[in-house]
């Protein structure tokens, strides 16, 4: 009886040590790193969502003031830094990706990758715009003949590794996968004020399919 009980304990330990981690790895590869096909629109005068998730903030920014944060000037320098290479006036659209959302990030427009810049930072929960400003991030600027757009991949409390597949000088197509962020994270778009927004705070968006804004001719 003692040997039977000992054997059961060994089997349970082996199950915990081997089977559960393998099952989690399989689940991770199949579910968390899934990359479903997307029906990318043919139109070229639009800006698409770079990530799946929920729009948690839409802010209008200007060169002279940070009215978007209700008079809070603590973030003025950070906002200027992330927006000045796109436009002195424009919009910031922040998308929160939950752990259940698809983690693949897609190019919002077709064009040339002008720059890719990684910055170290904090790992706060990214369900607010302010935490996205101070967290670790990678900024990707894409430009074509009509517009420049910045896509910012922001790491969260759990997602501490940003993957970016593109480099400066590369051409990308709208809707093309350009990177990913594991678990919960945030992707913010920096758009010039020449666009017309087509979404609102609280909307759910799908990367490569949902139109975020229309480019004015």
> How far does the chain reach from its first CA to its final CA, in angstroms?
82
- Tell me: do 75 and 107 sit in the same domain: yes
DSSP-derived pairing of the beta strands 148-154 and 204-205: unpaired
Same domain, 72 and 167: yes
pLDDT of residue 27: 59
Same domain, 201 and 141: yes
Residue 20 and residue 49 in one domain = no
Distance (Å, rounded) from C-alpha 8 to C-alpha 115? 58
Looking at residue 79, its pLDDT comes to 82
Quickly state the pLDDT bin for 122 (edges 50, 70, 90).
confident
Quick check: 74 pLDDT over 80?
A: no
Is residue 94 flagged as an active site residue? no
Q: Go through 128-137 and write b for each residue having 16 or more CB atoms within 10 A of its CB, e for each that does not.
A: ebbbbbbbbb
Q: Is 86 or 81 the better-scoring residue by pLDDT?
A: 86
pTM (2 d.p.): 0.83
Residues 23 and 48 both lie in one domain: no
Q: Residue 61 has what pLDDT?
A: 86
pLDDT (average), residues 82-106: 91
Higher pLDDT, 96 or 3: 96
Catalytic residue among 87, 185, 200, 217: 185
Asked whether residue 7 carries a pLDDT value surpassing 80, the answer given is no
Residue 3 has what pLDDT?
A: 64
Same domain, 46 and 28: no
CB 212, CB 189: distance < 8 Å: yes
Q: Residues 65, 111: one domain? A: yes
My answer on whether 27 and 80 are in the same domain is no
Mark whether 14 and 85 lie in a shared domain.
Answer: no
The CA distance from 77 to 85, in Å, is 14
Residue 213: the pLDDT is 97
Q: For the chain, what is the domain count? A: 2
> Do both 69 and 133 map to the same domain?
yes
> Would strands 90-97 and 53-61 be described as parallel, antiparallel, or unpaired?
antiparallel
User: Which domain range does residue 2 map to?
Assistant: 1-32
* Statement to judge: residues 101 and 159 lie in one domain: yes
Q: Is the pLDDT of residue 96 over 80?
A: yes
Asked if 181 contacts 153 with a C-beta cutoff of 8 angstroms, the reply is yes
- The closest alpha carbon to 106, from 188, 174, 17, 23, belongs to 174
Q: How confident is the model at residue 53 (pLDDT cuts 50, 70, 90)?
A: very high
CA distance 11 to 153: 43
| Backbone conformation region of residue 162, classed left if phi is above 0, alpha if psi is from -120 to 50, else beta | beta
Q: Is the domain of 157 the same as that of 197?
A: yes
Q: Are 25 and 73 in contact (CB under 8 A)?
A: no
For 27-47, the pLDDT digits (tens) are 555 666 788 899 999 988 999
Which of 116-130, 131-145, 178-192 has the weakest average pLDDT? 116-130
Distance of alpha carbon 138 from alpha carbon 185, whole angstroms: 12
Residue 80 pLDDT > 60, yes or no? yes
């Amino acid at each position: 009886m003692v040997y039977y009980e000992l054997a059961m304990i060994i089997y349970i330990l082996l199950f915990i040590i081997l089977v559960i981690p393998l099952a989690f790895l399989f689940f991770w590869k199949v579910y968390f790193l899934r990359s479903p096909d997307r029906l990318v629109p043919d139109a070229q005068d639009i800006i698409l969502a770079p990530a799946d998730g929920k729009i948690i903030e839409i802010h209008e920014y200007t060169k002279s003031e940070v009215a978007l944060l209700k008079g809070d000037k603590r973030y003025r320098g950070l906002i200027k830094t992330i927006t000045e290479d796109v436009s002195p006036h424009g919009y910031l659209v922040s998308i929160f990706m939950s752990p259940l959302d698809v983690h693949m990030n897609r190019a919002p427009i077709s064009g040339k990758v002008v720059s890719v810049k990684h910055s170290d930072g904090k790992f706060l929960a990214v369900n607010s715009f302010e935490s996205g400003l101070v967290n670790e991030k990678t900024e990707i600027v894409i430009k074509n003949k009509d517009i420049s757009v910045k896509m910012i991949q922001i790491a969260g409390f759990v997602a501490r590794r940003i993957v970016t597949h593109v480099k400066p000088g590369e051409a990308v197509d709208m809707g093309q996968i350009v990177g990913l962020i594991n678990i919960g994270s945030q992707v913010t778009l920096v758009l010039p004020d020449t666009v017309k927004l087509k979404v609102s705070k609280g909307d759910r968006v799908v990367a490569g399919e949902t139109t975020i804004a229309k480019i004015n001719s």
